[in-house]
Structures are given as structure tokens and as C-alpha cells.
């Protein structure tokens, strides 16, 4: 079992996304935050559950919502949540 660790970059991404959405729809922002935080939980026991990224070598992608992708990496000791990006955004950044 691996611990799931959110990097500062991913936390900042999540905060910005939720803040932007909450300005228009606080309920939707709360639901999305819960979704983005819970979609990564199975990684602790199944680190290779989601597909490898075609865009960024060494990362894996979770399509957590039609508009949002969670990028993560599997290390020897943990699962690192690296970024949360809008699906239409050009990345890597």
C-alpha cells in the first residue's frame, strides 16, 4: 500500500479551480472538490489503475471529470499527485 501525497503544485491547481468555480456556483465547486480528492484514493492500493500519459512521460492520467485531469506519478515509496489541469488546456507546462 502506497501513501497518496499531493504536491504543492497540485494543491495550488485544485485551490484555483475550486475558487474559480465557486465564484459562479459554490455547490458545483464543493462537489468537484470532493470528486477530485476522492478519485485518487484507490491509487493507494492500485497505483497503476489509470493510463499512462501520452503527453508527459513518467506520469499517469485520471480523467476525474470531463473537464479535469489529475496527473500523478508512481514512485518507489508513494503516489504523487503532481497537477490538476483543465482537459482543454495545452500541457505540459
**Which residue ranges form the domains of the chain, and what is each CATH number?**
4-86 (3.30.2310.20)
Query: Cell digits for 18?
Result: 475550486
pLDDT at 91: 64
As a three-state string, the secondary structure of 56-82 is CCCCEEEEEECCEEEEEEECCCCEEEE
Q: Is the peptide bond before 49 cis (omega within 30 degrees of 0)?
A: no
pLDDT by position in tens, the chain (length 93): 899 999 999 999 999 999 999 999 999 999 999 999 999 999 999 999 999 999 899 999 999 999 999 999 999 999 999 999 998 876 665
pTM of the model: 0.91
Any residues with CB less than 8 A from the CB of 68 and at least 6 apart, and which? 17, 32, 36, 84, 85, 86, 87
Q: Enumerate the β-bridge partners of residue 62.
A: 70
Amino acid at each position: 500500500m502506497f501513501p497518496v501525497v499531493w504536491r504543492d503544485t497540485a494543491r495550488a491547481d485544485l485551490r484555483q479551480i475550486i475558487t474559480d468555480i465557486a465564484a459562479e456556483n459554490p455547490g458545483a465547486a464543493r462537489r468537484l472538490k470532493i470528486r477530485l480528492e476522492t478519485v485518487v484514493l484507490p491509487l493507494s492500493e492500485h497505483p497503476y489503475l489509470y493510463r499512462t500519459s501520452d503527453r508527459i512521460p513518467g506520469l499517469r492520467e485520471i480523467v476525474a471529470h470531463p473537464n479535469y485531469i489529475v496527473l500523478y506519478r508512481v514512485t518507489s515509496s508513494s503516489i504523487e499527485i503532481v497537477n490538476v489541469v483543465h482537459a482543454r488546456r495545452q500541457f505540459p507546462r
